[in-house]
Amino acid sequence: MFEVVIGLEVHVQLNTNSKLFCSCATSFGEEPNTNVCPTCLGLPGALPVLNKEAVHKAIMLGTALKSEINQKSIFNRKNYFYPDLPSGYQISQFEVPIV
C-alpha cells in the first residue's frame, strides 16, 4: 500500500517594507540596481538577516490555512548557474519550512 504525499512550493511577492534577508527596500519602480546591498549581491562576508515581519506573515497564512507551524526552521543554499542569479545561489526552505 502506498501513501500519496503532495507538497507545494509556493513563491510569493512579499508585502513588507524590506526584502526577506536584508533591509533593502522592496519599492517598485525604482531605478535598476538601487535597492541592493552586499547581502543581495551575495558578496563574501555579507550575512543574511531574516525579516521578522515576513516570518510573522508566513505564520498568519499558515494559521489561516490550518497548517502545521514549525517551531524551528532551516534555510539551505541551492547553487545554480543562471544568468539572472548573480549570487550563484538561492536560499530555500526544503527540509523544515516555517509552515
Helices first, then strands: H and E counts in the chain: 1, 2
CA 92 to chain centre: 6
Express each pLDDT in 60-97 by its tens digit: 999 999 999 999 999 888 887 888 776 777 888 878 88
Residue 42: per-residue pLDDT: 81
Positive or negative, the CA dihedral 39, 40, 44, 50 is positive
pTM of the model: 0.75
Express each pLDDT in 12-59 by its tens digit: 777 899 999 999 998 888 998 899 999 888 888 888 899 999 999 999
The residue ranges of every structural domain in the chain are 52-92
